[in-house]
Structure 1
Amino acid sequence: MKLSKLAEKSGVSTTTLKHWIRVGIMPSGRLRNPTTAVYEQRHVDRARLILVLRDVYGASTQAIRSLTALIDAPGSTTLNVMNACQELALGVPEDIADDPAYADFRERTYELMRRRDWRGYPGAAERGLTFALAQAAEVGLDYDVAELMEYADAVEPLAGRNIAALGPEGSPDEVARRLLLAINARARQLVAVSSLAHAAASIRSAIERGDAPADLAKPPAAP
């Protein structure tokens, strides 16, 4: 397909596509003659991936280049790509893995992984949990391993179903795009459910104290 058709199929302007090619995050087309290049489905998939990175995650050109270079590297696996997507989505600095200030939170993460036989070390996900535990502790939510196990009991069955639903089908770019969208969707869903539960607990406490009417903020009746 010509560049104009690529722009039509991807929803990205030809000017932007040319810029992406120039900065090295979009592969060049195959030259048909000295003045015309042709593009394939892999270019559409790459454009769709870059749109998610740019518009959903606000990723810099450098961050996008790092991920696309990994995808394009010979021998790159789906697990490599998944870890890189988690790295980008979680935004956790790598030096957390060795920072002594996080030692206790790292050990809680490792103990959770040991108890559940969760593999993934070393990787972005375990650094992400270490960082999240440290942040929670700063505001008085100091989760121990037993509490983490309760979260894991709820999340682990969902993880298996999510992986099965995503599947390995498609180009590496398309797999990465789906992974990134899924990570973002899961995070929003978990935060929303948690927020709803915390709001309900606050309202219930207010009702029990007599500070709010008994019918406050009830959901609509079932149709």
Structure 2
Amino acid sequence: MKLKELAVQSGVSTTTLKHWIRVGILPGGRLRNRTTAVYEQRHVDRARLIVVLRDSYNASTAAIRSLTDVIDSDAATLEVMNACQAFALGISEGVASDPDHEVFRERTHELMRRRDWRGYPGAAEQGLALVLAQASAVGLDYDVEELMEYADALEPLVGRNIAALRPDGSRDEVARRMLLAVNARARQLVAVSSLAHAAASIRSAIDRGVAPADLAMPPAASGK
């Protein structure tokens, strides 16, 4: 396909595609003659991946190149998925050895031991220790028992989430689906948590008699 067709299939303008080729995050096409290059499905997959990294994660060119370098290497698929998790969770170099996070790493490891969860060392393990440290800094200090309660709720959903990733297609496509899923899952959990907190605040106001009993009720079910 020509560059114009690549733009149509990827949903990216030819100007942007040329820029990505110039900065080295999108491979150049195969030259058919001095003025024309042709592109393949791998270029479509890479462009669609870059769109997710740019739009869903606001990633810099350097960050995109760092991840695509792993995808283009001979790393195993699990290593590619770990790199995607590190990217999505914002795991920077040094997080795994930060002495200020030691107590949170031990809570993470205790959770993993109790549930027989594997993934050490890995981005997800490091990410949990990091967010536990960040939560503690604002007064939300979760212990292992509380983490177990979250795990009890989440673990039954994991199989369905993994199945939705569909491990078929190119490495770029697998990475794209994984990054989209991580972003969507995180936003869903935040939204449900926000709704629960809002409901608890309203219920507290009703119980204290400072708000009417029918405050903020959801609409009746359709057809009723």
Q: Same fold (TM over 0.5)?
A: yes
Q: Which residue of 2 aligns with 1:167?
A: 166
| Cα distance, 1:194 vs structure 2 | 0.4
Q: Which residue of 1 aligns with 2:79?
A: 80
Q: Which residue of 1 aligns with 2:44?
A: 44
For normalisation by structure 1, the TM-score amounts to 0.96
SS at match of 1:207: helix
User: In structure 2, how many angstroms separate the alpha carbons of the residues matched to 1:210 and 1:178?
Assistant: 48
Q: Which residue of 2 aligns with 1:118?
A: 117
Q: Which residue of 1 aligns with 2:145?
A: 146
Q: Which residue of 2 aligns with 1:158?
A: 157
Q: Which residue of 2 aligns with 1:189?
A: 188
What do residues 179-210 of structure 1 show as CA deviations (whole Å, max 9, x unaligned)? 11101100000000001111111111111111
1:11 aligns to 2:11 (yes or no) = yes
Structure 1 unpaired stretches of 5+: none
User: In structure 2, how many angstroms separate the alpha carbons of the residues matched to 1:28 and 1:93?
Assistant: 29
For normalisation by structure 2, the TM-score amounts to 0.96
| Cα distance, 1:17 vs structure 2 | 1.1
| Cα distance, 1:94 vs structure 2 | 2.8
User: In structure 2, how many angstroms separate the alpha carbons of the residues matched to 1:203 and 1:52?
Assistant: 37
1:222 aligns to 2:210 (yes or no) = no
Give, as a single letter, the amino acid of the residue that structure 2 aligns with 1:194. Answer: S
SS at match of 1:94: coil
* Number of aligned residues: 222
User: In structure 1, how many angstroms separate the alpha carbons of the residues matched to 2:30 and 2:198?
Assistant: 56
The runs of 4+ residues in structure 1 deviating greater than 4 Å are none
| Cα distance, 1:37 vs structure 2 | 1.2
SS at match of 1:33: coil
| Cα distance, 1:96 vs structure 2 | 2.1
| Cα distance, 1:164 vs structure 2 | 1.0
Percentage of identical aligned residues = 78
Give, as a single letter, the amino acid of the residue that structure 2 aligns with 1:12. Answer: V
SS at match of 2:186: helix
Q: Which residue of 2 aligns with 1:89?
A: 88
User: In structure 2, how many angstroms separate the alpha carbons of the residues matched to 1:106 and 1:98?
Assistant: 10
User: In structure 2, how many angstroms separate the alpha carbons of the residues matched to 1:108 and 1:115?
Assistant: 11
SS at match of 1:35: coil
| Cα distance, 1:34 vs structure 2 | 2.7
SS at match of 1:222: coil
SS at match of 2:205: helix
Give, as a single letter, the amino acid of the residue that structure 1 aligns with 2:89. Answer: L
